[in-house]
Structure 1
């Protein structure tokens, strides 16, 4: 039987070549000889993660932790899996455990910073990046994270400098190019962002991170979208309490100054539908259609479908003034756009996504019932439709203030 570490050079070489399936085969051979090897279990978890086998990957990482509770890399592997599965609280707990066991690994700070960035904790993300760079000054991922955190804090010059530093260490990395693209986008340089995303996709045509950025850069060519996103990035520098106060304050101002209602409604519409609206506009060009993912195209189809139903209902109502239920059909179709867009924003399969989805189904059932009752000219249709409106408003406010 070979020494327990003899397999590591082969596995590390395969991992560096992104040959995760072959690395997994090597690791399974090792585990057949020594099923209690925590290193092999943790590395196998990473291989399975890269092959999108999340459930099996999690089992391997948890087994590695069970076999060696002091093994920091096993907790790091588990954190990567939880992060990929859109479970930020569990990912944060795992990476904090890894750092408690080994506070001197730059990769651990990189993941910690990513989690903080995604949760809107810009200062904490910046601190994680700076701590990690203190351990490894040439870590391109940490330079990119540093740049993103600075951009989100409204420090464009420092962010641009940090992005250039990342490129100086790993210009041939798709991830680094994409990070530079996001920094350029968040600091109002959409043309430069487009170049970085194109280069990132040239280096890795399968990169979802780069493709999402490319779509954002293409949408930023529209000045309305670009202006709205500049506001979104600016508001991201504010605390949650201040953002909620702004939202409620705007609503109160409109109550007392009705002339501002059109501006407020336009802002609400953009807040909910800017992404899918401009993604639908991208479908006009062949390049835009190719840039969109299947998921974005599907969302666009659903969005345009509901708009078509609303337009059809209004058209029938205008053409045949006495046609019952058509005005209700139009308003229900427009109202259902909100739970639909709310569900899109959530990671698929998560509990929040499931709740949002079922809320949407419930609203659709109530709305369609009101339309059916309206077609039959029953007076109760108005009461049922009112229940639909109340449900849609509650959903909108709950989601907006979540």
Structure 2
């Protein structure tokens, strides 16, 4: 990216390199007070605000920079970073492609393009972006890390290891590079090595969500069941949405005609829904795991364990001590509500998050209504309400399973 030569830029760039984003933002606002049409200052302010998680303001600054200078490639790059942080992959991809159309020789742009391709399961496209970027800057540590991850996702384990070592050779003191090496180790079935890299990444940058999320995954990967399922999810992520739906529907149809397939199919379905929540909850019993889980993950685990505990306790009570319809309904409703709870958590960065949440609220209302009607002795109405809850739960799974 080419920045125009103005007196404030060296100080701002120094502050950005030192991650003093608030001070850099103050300097840029001072400049914009003198020249509100300085598109470079607007674009850099967008980056500062992004790093301070002021995403709406950051997006407004990036869009203003683009409005003032539609030919300024860095403004599109800043916008792509902001859209990516907000989990808007299509918008981020459009912005980074615009930046590359204006300047196809910036290695940082190819790094972001490759990251977006990797997130969408396009391993080969991610690999191509990394290789193109490395042809422009052979010492770009983050591109070496991206290259390694793209190779790992394609099952090219030995090449991925070599690429990860190259990345560490150029940026061993970088939190991002250490975290990339951790993900490569994790994706090539070396969870213990992955933990070491993620811990080093967090030592270098204790605020890195990228490294913290990796450490959580590495800790969960100590369980062979989770590790096996994780490899399946990496493979299935490379399929199109239609192919994934077709695979699950095909397995369901086959299980109806080939009874031995029913148990593996049900295991796959339940792991698809609950593996993350189950193993995150298991980490609550591990000192490293408790520290690695984010407050949001801990809160979700509390909700998951509460519903699971109520459901299991109610069904045991019904079977052993209190055989009342309301107790049985409470058990089944609690366990059934695990689906929208976990489904909404899985879709927390998706446009379908709100729809999933409200669908869960409707199911909860139907379930509570069934329990209440059982308590007051209106058994027939309770059966209708419970049937509606059951049908709604099955419908929820089919609608939101692959969203």
TM-score range normalised by the length of the shorter chain: over 0.9
Does the 8 Å contact 2:59/2:79 carry over to 1? yes
Name 1:178's counterpart in structure 2.
Answer: 179
**Aligned mates of 1:264, 1:376 — CA distance in 2:** 39
Aligned pairs for 1:103-118 (under 5 A) are: 103-118=104-119
Does the 8 Å contact 2:73/2:103 carry over to 1? yes
**Aligned mates of 1:4, 1:26 — CA distance in 2:** 16
Does the 8 Å contact 2:337/2:363 carry over to 1? yes
Name 2:147's counterpart in structure 1.
Answer: 146
Q: Secondary structure at the match of 1:325?
A: helix
Name 2:373's counterpart in structure 1.
Answer: 373
Does the 8 Å contact 2:241/2:402 carry over to 1? no
Does the 8 Å contact 1:154/1:234 carry over to 2? no
Name 2:58's counterpart in structure 1.
Answer: 57
**Aligned mates of 1:178, 1:209 — CA distance in 2:** 7
How big is the shift at 1:79? 0.9
Say what the alpha-carbon RMSD is for the aligned residues.
Answer: 1.6
> Gaps spanning 5+ residues in structure 2: where?
none
Kindly provide the CA deviation profile for residues 93-130 of structure 1, in whole angstroms up to 9, marking residues without a partner as x.
11111111111111111111111111111111111111
How big is the shift at 1:239? 4.7
Name 1:312's counterpart in structure 2.
Answer: 313
Name 2:251's counterpart in structure 1.
Answer: 250
Kindly provide the CA deviation profile for residues 194-213 of structure 1, in whole angstroms up to 9, marking residues without a partner as x.
11111111111111111111
Kindly provide the CA deviation profile for residues 33-92 of structure 1, in whole angstroms up to 9, marking residues without a partner as x.
111100001000100110011111111111111111111111111111111111111111
Name 1:359's counterpart in structure 2.
Answer: 359
Does the 8 Å contact 2:80/2:95 carry over to 1? yes
Does the 8 Å contact 2:8/2:31 carry over to 1? yes
Does the 8 Å contact 1:86/1:347 carry over to 2? no
How big is the shift at 1:241? 4.3
Does the 8 Å contact 2:12/2:28 carry over to 1? yes
Kindly provide the CA deviation profile for residues 202-251 of structure 1, in whole angstroms up to 9, marking residues without a partner as x.
11111111111111111111111112212222334445444333312221
**Aligned mates of 1:17, 1:333 — CA distance in 2:** 50
Name 2:386's counterpart in structure 1.
Answer: 385
> Gaps spanning 5+ residues in structure 1: where?
none
Matched, 1:290 2:296: no
Name 1:200's counterpart in structure 2.
Answer: 201
**Aligned mates of 2:130, 2:241 — CA distance in 1:** 22
**Aligned mates of 1:70, 1:290 — CA distance in 2:** 45
**Aligned mates of 1:119, 1:236 — CA distance in 2:** 8
**Aligned mates of 2:102, 2:30 — CA distance in 1:** 29
Name 2:28's counterpart in structure 1.
Answer: 27
How big is the shift at 1:4? 6.8
Does the 8 Å contact 1:71/1:101 carry over to 2? yes
Length, aligned pairs only: 399
Does the 8 Å contact 1:147/1:163 carry over to 2? yes
223-232 vs 259-268, which moves further = 259-268
Aligned pairs for 1:3-402 (under 5 A) are: 5-348=6-349, 351-378=351-378, 379-402=380-403
- TM-score, normalisation: structure 1: 0.95
Kindly provide the CA deviation profile for residues 153-201 of structure 1, in whole angstroms up to 9, marking residues without a partner as x.
1211111111111111101101111111111111111111111111111
Does the 8 Å contact 1:324/1:376 carry over to 2? no
How big is the shift at 1:316? 2.9
**Aligned mates of 1:21, 1:168 — CA distance in 2:** 31
**Aligned mates of 2:172, 2:323 — CA distance in 1:** 65
How big is the shift at 1:256? 1.6
